[in-house]
Structure 1
Amino acid sequence: MPSSLFNPESIPDLKGKVYLVTGGNTGIGKATVAGLAEHGATVYIGARSKGKAELAIADILKTVPSADLHYLHIDLADLSSVAKAAKTLRENVAALYGLINNAGIMGVPYAVTNDGYEIQFQTNYLSHWLLTYHLVPLLVETARKSVSGSVRVVNVTSDGHEHFTPNAGINFEDLDLKSASSMTRYGQSKLANVLHIKHLNTIYGPKGEYLAEEIVCAAVHPGHIDTALNKQTTALAPASILGPVTRVMKCLGILDEQEKGAWSSIFAIASSDFGREHSGAYVVPYAKIGTPSEKARDAELARRLFDWTEKEMRDRGILETRQR
């Protein structure tokens, strides 16, 4: 895959800065947590399982003994859990320098959450939208007191946002896509991640509507990485087949190591090489500015999705203030 000259070791000292990484207990998320902690950051690991998060923390401490890591309970399949997690974080930290919406699922069989949404759309997009929404006031407050461009939000997406979406990009008439393939549902959720960043940048970016409340944003395609996601796609093939296929793909160099998959997230959330002028960018492997799909560049589609999501969440009574 293409690579830039970026080296994760080049990021500045992050001591005193707090970050939240969802799905930080495994895979790319865990590697991202370790990379930030290595440079002095305080990192909250957003995960459903406390036990798995504690195992991840213990593992990271073996190589980064000084790591300042904390568990934050969040279940992305439960919107009330997401709102509660944001509230808990706001009560426990005075400033938040970075949010990495990293957790996700891919290619799983069709299912609907207890909240009534298709599980990939809620896990990958809706819950991260809600988490971001509730944390924006803290991010904005931090930005007002910090060096311009130092407060950031990253959505981890994939090139699936281009290859697997329905024809409409976001099918507002049938968001569940029950009759479509699992990967089409996945692609729609990943496109939603990119559109979310596009509109968030329109509001809070360096040239956004709220110029005094600057948040630098990025959507990141981490690459084709050997993670647990590859074992989840049971809607495409049984686990007995996925395992051997994944091992072959790794041997052929089609799948890369998890540490490398974290490079682009670390680049976008903390590197001085990713500046204010890059806000709203789509970052591709590894730590390079790329070009997302045509639908992902559609500002009107981004605004429509944001407005639809805000109305959905407001109608459920889980939003506190109105944002544009």
Structure 2
Amino acid sequence: MVFTPESLPNLEGMVYLVTGGNAGIGFHTALQLAAHHAKVYLGTRSKVKGEAAIQQIKNQQPDAEVYLLEMDMTKLRSVVAAAEQEKHLHGLVNNAGVMATPFEKTADGYESQFQINYISHWLLTYHLLPTMIETATDTSPGVVRIVNVASNAHMNVPSFGIDFQDIDQVSGGPVSRYGSSKLANILHTNELVKRYGTPTARSIDNAISVGNHVNGEIWMASLHPGMAKTNLLSGATGSLFVRIAAGLLSALSKTSLIGLSPEKAAYTQLFAVASQDFTRDMNGAYLEPIAQVAKPSKLAENTQLAKDLWEWTENEMKMGGFI
């Protein structure tokens, strides 16, 4: 049977954070979680847009428990500050992202797509892990989950995957840079499972101190949500061919020919973060629409690349004083 949000259980007492929750599939993810009685935080950098999204949700669900959590993914200090706000968390949906945008560096010194799509979410997850591990000790296995929204565009990368000597891909293009950030999302998930996905893994890893709590399990997934009818491609740039292709794909995605509605594009991440049909054997899986286990690229399954990426990111965050 095809998953639909109607099959979600009553989520009363559960707490979720959805980054980029003010628009697109992030909005519909937050809406459905709230509709099933969860407490939901919308992570967004715009207070005005965030408050408008919350009002939209409450117009449909008057009793919804939805809150604004300001975070600017282009400013890593903002991400760290946001992570300190909640001390009880069952689900994290790392959904915010940009696609094929012009080459630009953030104030933190990283290429914008790589920081917004990957680094900021790695940092947010890192700071929330102690909270989530603590929450997992009081729940059944797999109630606490982390979902990284990637893309099948992770296959559109150079053959070497990620060049740690040129992490910004200065000589690359906007599509390739986007693909690398999405490849990083999957590699991040795989390494998270290895390090923190089971009580045994957490108990022997000293990177994050959570006392003696080693019970419970956190389940994780990465996914391709599908081509949704959103404005994700509106900022695409690059060569004339890239701009034309992006414009064509953006237009097609808003038709019934190839695009999912934002509501349906949210289904796969709703399944991963809250469905009872997401089971232990799916922990660490890569999913495609709708709620189907799929096989990512060989690079995305490269355990050494995942380890190297984690270590590079951790070192960068330590040098920047973010962890």
Find 2:104's aligned residue among 98, 102, 111. 111
| TM-fit CA distance, 1:246 | 2.9
| TM-fit CA distance, 1:230 | 2.0
Distance, in Å, in 2 between the alignment partners of 1:209 and 1:263 is: 30
SS at match of 2:27: helix
Taking structure 1 as reference, are residues 242 and 302 closer, same or farther at Cα in structure 2, changes over 3 Å only? closer
Q: Does 1:166 align with 2:163?
A: no
Aligned runs of 1:127-146 on 2, under 5 Å? 127-146=120-139
Taking structure 1 as reference, are residues 244 and 293 closer, same or farther at Cα in structure 2, changes over 3 Å only? closer
Distance, in Å, in 1 between the alignment partners of 2:244 and 2:51 is: 29
Q: RMSD of the alignment, in Å?
A: 1.8
Aligned runs of 1:23-62 on 2, under 5 Å? 23-62=20-59
Give the equivalent residue in structure 2 for 1:299: 303
Distance, in Å, in 2 between the alignment partners of 1:168 and 1:240 is: 27
| TM-fit CA distance, 1:254 | 1.3
Distance, in Å, in 2 between the alignment partners of 1:77 and 1:100 is: 18
Give the equivalent residue in structure 2 for 1:120: 113
Q: Does 1:189 align with 2:193?
A: no
| TM-fit CA distance, 1:220 | 1.3
Which stretch of structure 1 is more off in the superposition, 100-109 or 237-246?
Answer: 237-246
Distance, in Å, in 2 between the alignment partners of 1:208 and 1:229 is: 39
Percent of aligned pairs sharing the same letter: 46
Instruction: Please tell me the residue identity of whatever aligns with 1:172.
Output: F
Taking structure 1 as reference, are residues 208 and 118 closer, same or farther at Cα in structure 2, changes over 3 Å only? farther
Instruction: Please tell me the residue identity of whatever aligns with 1:102.
Output: N
Which stretch of structure 1 is more off in the superposition, 180-189 or 166-175?
Answer: 166-175
Instruction: Please tell me the residue identity of whatever aligns with 1:216.
Output: W
Instruction: Please tell me the residue identity of whatever aligns with 1:29.
Output: G
Equivalenced residues, count: 311
Once the two structures are superposed, what CA deviation does each residue of 1:203-228 show, in whole Å capped at 9, x if it has no partner?
12248612635210000110011112
Once the two structures are superposed, what CA deviation does each residue of 1:159-208 show, in whole Å capped at 9, x if it has no partner?
0011x112211111211111211000000000000000000000122486
Which stretch of structure 1 is more off in the superposition, 226-235 or 237-246?
Answer: 237-246
Q: Is the 8 A contact 1:201 1:208 kept in 2?
A: no
| TM-fit CA distance, 1:250 | 2.9
Find 1:271's aligned residue among 266, 270, 275. 275
| TM-fit CA distance, 1:297 | 0.6
SS at match of 2:201: coil
Give the equivalent residue in structure 2 for 1:198: 190
Once the two structures are superposed, what CA deviation does each residue of 1:102-149 show, in whole Å capped at 9, x if it has no partner?
000000000001100000000000000000000000000000011111
Instruction: Please tell me the residue identity of whatever aligns with 1:233.
Output: A
Give the equivalent residue in structure 1 for 2:210: none
* TM-score of the pair, normalised by structure 1: 0.92
Instruction: Please tell me the residue identity of whatever aligns with 2:300.
Output: A
SS at match of 1:209: helix
Give the equivalent residue in structure 2 for 1:322: none
Give the equivalent residue in structure 2 for 1:223: 226
SS at match of 2:56: helix
Distance, in Å, in 2 between the alignment partners of 1:258 and 1:239 is: 23
Distance, in Å, in 1 between the alignment partners of 2:288 and 2:239 is: 25
